[in-house]
């Protein structure tokens, strides 16, 4: 491991670091409170409760609080409101605003847990639960970082903002995407954005691979299940498509690699996942215990999740899927299909020379005693909206948490990692504001 020569810690940072250490139990309790609100998306439960917890706490620390519902967005409804919270505290005089953005939604718990996914149990220096790493632990660390600065009474120019936003796991359109369209990340309001996603505590994440989600539907003709020859089975057609992908596309994708520093190593290749598939009759309610009826499936739908590299042309990414579908159509006279775009974002990378990256590099060196590592995320996150809609390029991901644990059973975050990451975030912020030199 490379190390750097030890450097003295500025007096202001010594005070902040000591305060963060003293707030350890508070950070744990805050993380537990956040995790115990099961903000599962979809459908988007308890967003208001989580946003209120954040807002109530930060109001008590001197922040002004604003709640913003994503009115007009498809996912926003009376039953499942897409509530975002933005907290802002002003410093003394003109200076940059450093904004910490975290999404408050989490994916479903799923099976395979050995602890309560909503219990936020502390064991062996870790907090267990869905969303501990992705990314309520990072949210808590960013809140403690700024609270420690305020608690020390240190003067700083500009402002700090902290936001908790909706729907990142399903694209972020009702969260950061909505706020960006409404001007909350305009350059005259915010100058730097840190997103505490779980991409390892000594790394600065510059960006992400590209993504294309699409729905492929194969079409058939309904008939009695005892006489399938009178119909056309859409599931068989989908099976033929999947077989072609297995035989032709997957081996080809494995040969495509990138110069982007994507982690983990396996994600430096092009990838394709089938997120879901459904064919035939609608599935009955869980309470129904009877048998299905005998019919030939006249529709089969598949959601594909294609992650592509900065070296790939997005037009070609789509074209190769359509080419396989057309090949199946030539081979099967009764094969018909539809394809529909669901989501698309190009790869992106913030410059390693951006002042925000440099500040985080210096803070990581200060806290860890070694150089930072620049990485790229295998999946997209809300940086895409900030850079493409708000045109604010000074945005990266930095936070505690282990990337490989995201969306896994027994997800956890290491408490010491949260403490160290809070120190990095505080130090980088104060460096960006010119209060300290790293």
Residue 1 lies in a domain: no
Beta bridge mates, 26: none
* Chain segment 118-136, per-residue pLDDT in tens: 999 999 999 999 999 999 9
pTM for this predicted structure: 0.91
DSSP per-residue codes, 56-72: HHHHTTT-EEEEEE-TT
Same structural domain, 365 and 273: no
DSSP, residue by residue, 158-210? SEEEEEEES-GGGTSTTTHHHHHHTTTT-TTT-SEEEE--SS-TTEEEEEE-E
Whether residue 29 is found in the same domain as residue 58: yes
DSSP E strands in 247-298: the ranges are 271-279
CATH of residue 400's domain is 3.40.630.10
Provide the token pair at 384. Answer: 């895409």
Query: What's the CATH code of the domain at 257?
Result: 3.30.70.360
Structure tokens that stand for 231 in this block: 């119909």
The reply to whether 204 falls in a domain is yes
Name the region of 124 (left: φ>0; alpha: ψ -120 to 50; beta: rest): left
For 181, list phi and psi in degrees, rounded to 5.
Answer: -65, -30
Report pLDDT digits (tens) over 301-338.
Answer: 999 999 999 999 999 999 999 999 999 999 999 999 99
Q: What does the block give as tokens for 60?
A: 């008590």
Distance CA 59, CA 48 (A): 16
160: which 2 tokens? Answer: 């700090």
Confidence of residue 288 (pLDDT cuts 50, 70, 90): confident
Residue 325 belongs to a domain: yes
Radius of gyration of the chain (CA): 24
Give the residue ranges of DSSP H helices in 347-433.
355-368, 383-388, 415-432
How many folded domains does the chain comprise? 2
Residue 1 has pLDDT above 50, yes or no: no
């Amino acid at each position: 491991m490379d190390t750097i020569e030890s450097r003295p810690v500025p007096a202001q940072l010594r005070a902040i670091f000591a305060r963060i250490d003293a707030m350890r139990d508070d950070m744990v309790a805050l993380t537990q409170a956040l995790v115990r609100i099961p903000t599962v998306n979809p459908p988007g439960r308890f967003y208001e409760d989580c946003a209120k917890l954040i807002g109530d706490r930060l109001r008590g620390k001197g922040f002004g609080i604003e709640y913003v519902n994503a009115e007009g967005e498809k996912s926003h409804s009376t039953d499942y409101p897409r509530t975002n919270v933005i907290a802002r505290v002003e410093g003394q005089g003109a200076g940059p605003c450093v904004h910490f953005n975290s999404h408050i939604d989490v994916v479903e718990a799923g099976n395979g847990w050995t602890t309560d996914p909503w219990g936020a149990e502390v064991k062996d220096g870790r907090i267990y639960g869905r969303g501990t790493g992705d990314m309520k632990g990072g949210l808590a660390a960013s809140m403690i970082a700024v609270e420690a600065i305020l608690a020390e009474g240190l003067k700083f120019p500009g402002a700090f903002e902290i936001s908790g936003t909706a729907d990142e796991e399903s694209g972020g359109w009702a969260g950061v995407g909505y706020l960006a369209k409404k001007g909350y990340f305009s350059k005259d309001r915010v100058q730097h954005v840190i997103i505490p996603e779980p991409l390892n505590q000594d790394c600065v994440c510059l960006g992400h691979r590209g993504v294309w989600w699409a729905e492929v539907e194969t079409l058939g003709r309904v008939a009695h299940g005892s006489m399938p020859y009178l119909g056309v089975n859409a599931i068989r057609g989908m099976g033929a498509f999947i077989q072609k992908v297995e035989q032709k596309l997957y081996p080809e994708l494995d040969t495509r690699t990138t110069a982007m520093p994507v982690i983990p190593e396996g994600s430096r290749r092009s990838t394709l996942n089938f997120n879901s598939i459904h064919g035939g009759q609608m599935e009955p309610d869980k309470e129904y215990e009877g048998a299905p009826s005998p019919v030939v499936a006249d529709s089969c739908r598949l959601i594909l999740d294609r992650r592509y590299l900065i070296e790939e042309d997005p037009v070609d990414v789509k074209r190769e899927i359509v080419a396989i579908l057309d090949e199946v159509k030539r081979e099967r006279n009764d094969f018909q299909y539809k394809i529909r775009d669901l989501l698309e974002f190009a790869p992106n990378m913030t410059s390693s020379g951006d002042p925000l990256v440099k500040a985080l590099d210096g803070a990581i060196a200060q806290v860890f005693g070694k150089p930072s590592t620049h990485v790229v995320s295998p999946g997209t996150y809300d940086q895409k909206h900030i850079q493409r809609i708000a045109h604010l390029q000074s945005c990266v991901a930095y936070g505690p948490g282990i990337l490989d644990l995201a969306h896994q059973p027994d997800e956890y975050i290491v408490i010491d990692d949260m403490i160290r990451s809070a120190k990095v975030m505080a130090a980088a912020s104060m460096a960006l504001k010119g209060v300290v030199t790293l």
